[in-house]
C-alpha cells in the first residue's frame, strides 16, 4: 500500500498546531485571503492544503478537527478533482517533450483571477491551491502578485512551497504563513506502518533515519530501492578514500536501472556527508563518522558538498549523462577529480 495523493489523503499526523491555527481562523471568521504553507518536501504540506480546502468547501467544522469523512461528497469530489469551487495550479506535463515542465506557466496562473472572481457555485468559498509555488517563473510570479494585491471576496489562495526563499518577498508578505516541521519518529513510524506494512520494523526504522522526518521521502525511498541505494552509499563512504574508478562505473550501472536512482544516490551521499560533519561538530559522531570527517578539513567538506550539489543540479537541469556524473561524483569523493 502506498500513500494516497494529497488531494485524496484523509490522514495527517504531526501537524496539530497548524491545524489548530486554521480551525481558529475558520471559527473566528477572520480568514486571511492567502496562506503560505511551507516546510521540507514530503512532510504533508499539500495534504494539509487539501484538508484545509475540503473543510472550507464543506462548511464550518463542528468538531475540533479539519478532518472530513472520505464518504462525504465534498471529499470525493476534491479527490476526483471535480469540485466546481476548487482550482489546482501546478507544473503541467509537456506533450512535446513528454516530460513535466520545469516551471509553472504564466497562462495557468492567469486562470486564477477569473476563477476567484466568480461567485462560489455552492455558496461558500472559492479555493485555489498552488502546489509547488517555488516553481513560479518571473512572469507567473508577477501574475500571482497582482491577484494577491486585489483579492476578491469569499476566495482563498493556498500556496504550497518547499523553498519560500525563491518566492518574491512581496508575495510572502501578503500571505499568512504556516510552517510545517519534519515529523518526529513516532508519527513517522505510525504512517510508515500504515503505508508500508510489508516492510519489517528494522527496514521502517532505517527509512525513518534516512527520511529525516519526511514521510513522503520515506515512501519514495521504499518504492525506488532506496534501502539498497542507502546500503551502497554507506559502503561507499566507509571505503573512502580508497575508491577505484571501476567502482564508479559499477555503481552507475546499478543506478541506471531506476529512473530516480541518480537523484536518490546523490541526495543520500550529500545527506551522509552532512550528517557526519554535523555530528562530529556536535561531538556526537560514531566511529565511522569520525573516521570519515578526519579525512579532510571541515571547510573542504563544505566545498565538496557544494560541488556535489552543483553536479547533481546541472545534470538534472540539462539532462546530462547521469552515468558520467556518478563517476565524476565518486571521483570527487575519493579526491581523484
Domain annotation covers residue 140: yes
Long-range contacts of 165-172 (CB under 8 A, 24+ apart): 166/134, 167/36, 167/133, 167/134, 167/136, 167/141, 168/141, 168/142, 170/145, 171/36, 171/141, 171/144, 171/145, 172/36
Backbone angles phi, psi at 86, to 5 degrees: -125, 130
- What is the rounded distance in angstroms from the CA atom of residue 80 to the CA atom of residue 41? 23
User: Are 117 and 231 part of one and the same domain?
Assistant: no
Residue 178, classed as helix, strand or coil, is strand
Domain annotation covers residue 41: yes
Cell representation of residue 217: 521521502
Domain annotation covers residue 199: no
Buried b (16+ CB within 10 A) or exposed e, 81-93: eebebbbbbbbee
User: Are 51 and 148 part of one and the same domain?
Assistant: yes
- What is the rounded distance in angstroms from the CA atom of residue 134 to the CA atom of residue 140? 11
User: Are 262 and 170 part of one and the same domain?
Assistant: no
Helix (H) or strand (E) holding 158: strand 155-161
User: Are 265 and 329 part of one and the same domain?
Assistant: yes
Residue at a domain's end among 162, 179, 196: 179
Domain annotation covers residue 207: no
- What is the rounded distance in angstroms from the CA atom of residue 196 to the CA atom of residue 129? 28
User: Are 63 and 163 part of one and the same domain?
Assistant: yes
Contacts of 227 (CB under 8 A, 6+ apart): 203, 206, 207, 221
User: Are 174 and 59 part of one and the same domain?
Assistant: yes
- What is the rounded distance in angstroms from the CA atom of residue 166 to the CA atom of residue 144? 14
- What is the rounded distance in angstroms from the CA atom of residue 183 to the CA atom of residue 213? 4
pLDDT at 137: 95
Backbone angles phi, psi at 314, to 5 degrees: -70, -35
Write the DSSP string, 77-135: HHHTT--TTEEEE---EETTTTEE-SSB-HHHHHHHHHHHHSPPTTSS-EEEEEETGGG
Domain annotation covers residue 253: yes
User: Are 159 and 301 part of one and the same domain?
Assistant: no
Residue 32, classed as helix, strand or coil, is coil
Domain annotation covers residue 129: yes
* Residues 11, 18 contacting (CB under 8 angstroms): no
pLDDT at 187: 95
User: Are 146 and 266 part of one and the same domain?
Assistant: no
* Residues 32, 228 contacting (CB under 8 angstroms): no
User: Are 14 and 79 part of one and the same domain?
Assistant: yes
Domain annotation covers residue 142: yes
Domain annotation covers residue 94: yes
Number of domains in the chain: 2
* CATH assignment at residue 39: 3.40.50.300
DSSP state at residue 38: E
pLDDT at 33: 95
Cell representation of residue 100: 513535466
pLDDT at 336: 62
Residue at a domain's end among 150, 179, 208: 179
User: Are 48 and 174 part of one and the same domain?
Assistant: yes
pLDDT at 65: 87
Q: What is the pLDDT along the chain (337 residues), one digit of tens a residue?
A: 578 899 999 999 999 999 999 999 998 888 999 999 999 999 999 999 999 999 999 987 777 889 999 999 999 999 999 999 999 999 987 777 767 788 999 999 999 999 999 999 987 899 999 999 999 999 999 999 999 999 999 999 999 999 999 999 999 999 999 999 999 999 999 999 999 999 999 999 999 999 999 999 999 999 889 999 999 999 999 999 888 888 989 999 999 888 889 999 999 999 999 999 999 999 999 999 999 999 999 999 999 999 999 999 999 988 899 999 999 999 999 886 5
pLDDT at 98: 66
Nearest to 19 by CA among 73, 55, 65: 65
Residue at a domain's end among 179, 194, 211: 179
User: Are 108 and 249 part of one and the same domain?
Assistant: no
pLDDT at 155: 95
User: Which residue segment(s) compose the domain that 52 sits in?
Assistant: 6-179
pLDDT at 241: 87
User: Are 156 and 242 part of one and the same domain?
Assistant: no
Amino acid at each position: 500500500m502506498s500513500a494516497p495523493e494529497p488531494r485524496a489523503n484523509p490522514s495527517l499526523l504531526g501537524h496539530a498546531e497548524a491545524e489548530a491555527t486554521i480551525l481558529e481562523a475558520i471559527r473566528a471568521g477572520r480568514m486571511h485571503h492567502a496562506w503560505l504553507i511551507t516546510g521540507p518536501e514530503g512532510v504533508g504540506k499539500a495534504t494539509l492544503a487539501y484538508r484545509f480546502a475540503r473543510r472550507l468547501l464543506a462548511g464550518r467544522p463542528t468538531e475540533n478537527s479539519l478532518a472530513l469523512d472520505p464518504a462525504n461528497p465534498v471529499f470525493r469530489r476534491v479527490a476526483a478533482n471535480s469540485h466546481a469551487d476548487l482550482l489546482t495550479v501546478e507544473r503541467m506535463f509537456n506533450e512535446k517533450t513528454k516530460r513535466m515542465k520545469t516551471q509553472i506557466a504564466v497562462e495557468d496562473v492567469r486562470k486564477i483571477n477569473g476563477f476567484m472572481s466568480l461567485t462560489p457555485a455552492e455558496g461558500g468559498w472559492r479555493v485555489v491551491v498552488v502546489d509547488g509555488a517555488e516553481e513560479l517563473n518571473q512572469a507567473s510570479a508577477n501574475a500571482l502578485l497582482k491577484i494577491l494585491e486585489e483579492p476578491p471576496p469569499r476566495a482563498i489562495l493556498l500556496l504550497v512551497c518547499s523553498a519560500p526563499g525563491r518566492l518574491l518577498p512581496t508575495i510572502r508578505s501578503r500571505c499568512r504563513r504556516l510552517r510545517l516541521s519534519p515529523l518526529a519518529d513516532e508519527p513517522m513510524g505510525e504512517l510508515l506502518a500504515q503505508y508500508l506494512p510489508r516492510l519489517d520494523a528494522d527496514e521502517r526504522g532505517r527509512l525513518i533515519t534516512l527520511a529525516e522526518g519526511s514521510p513522503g521521502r520515506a515512501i519514495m525511498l521504499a518504492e525506488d530501492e532506496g534501502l539498497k541505494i542507502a546500503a551502497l552509499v554507506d559502503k561507499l563512504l566507509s571505503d573512502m578514500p580508497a575508491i577505484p574508478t571501476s567502482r564508479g562505473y559499477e555503481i552507475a550501472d546499478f543506478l541506471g536501472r531506476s529512473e530516480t536512482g541518480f537523484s536518490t544516490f546523490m541526495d543520500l551521499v550529500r545527506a551522509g556527508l552532512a550528517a557526519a560533519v554535523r555530528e562530529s561538530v556536535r561531538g556526537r559522531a560514531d566511529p565511522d563518522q569520525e573516521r570519515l570527517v578526519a579525512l579532510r578539513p571541515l571547510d573542504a567538506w563544505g566545498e565538496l558538498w557544494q560541488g556535489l550539489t552543483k553536479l547533481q543540479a546541472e545534470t538534472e537541469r540539462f539532462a546530462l549523462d547521469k552515468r558520467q556524473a556518478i563517476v565524476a561524483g565518486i571521483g570527487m569523493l575519493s579526491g581523484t577529480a
